[in-house]
Amino acid sequence: MTQDKTERHVILASTFLLILFVGLTLFVSSIARANPAPDSAAASATFRTKCAMCHGPNGSGSEVGKSMNIPDLRSPVVQKLPDVQLAQIISDGKGGMPSFKSSLSEDQVHSLVTYVRSLRGKK
């Protein structure tokens, strides 16, 4: 009888801990989704100061950019490019786009790649 009681307590305690763990995991993941990484604000600011003049605030292209036939950053053509290739284009430039490797850190370049990915589907 004592053994049955002990087993029930162990099962009850294990169930409680499992529910607590699942609840905390869901809580933390909801907070993470509600508060995007602080880098997203910095990447957005970098995009506005370094990229938006040609690419426009939403990546579709400004009047200046459209006159230079820059691609829509939201397009499947751009979105299908590997991250490495996007980072290289940002760093080295391409066509009429200047190089940013002397004015942006590697972390900033990678944050911009993530930012460009976030523009997908924002038409």
What distance in Å separates the CA atoms of residue 103 and residue 27, rounded to the nearest whole number? 39
What distance in Å separates the CA atoms of residue 11 and residue 25, rounded to the nearest whole number? 21
Local structure of residue 15 (DSSP, 8 states): H
Overall average pLDDT of the 60-79 stretch: 93
Give me the pLDDT at residue 87, please. Answer: 96
The string of pLDDT tens digits covering residues 16-65 is 888 988 887 877 766 656 555 546 889 999 999 999 999 999 999 999 98
Question: Percentage of the chain with pLDDT > 70?
Answer: 89
Residue 45: both structure tokens together: 């600011």
Give me the pLDDT at residue 80, please. Answer: 95
Give Cα 66 to chain centroid, integer Å.
Answer: 26
Give me the pLDDT at residue 45, please. Answer: 93
The region of weakest confidence among 11-15, 17-21, 28-32, 84-88 is 28-32
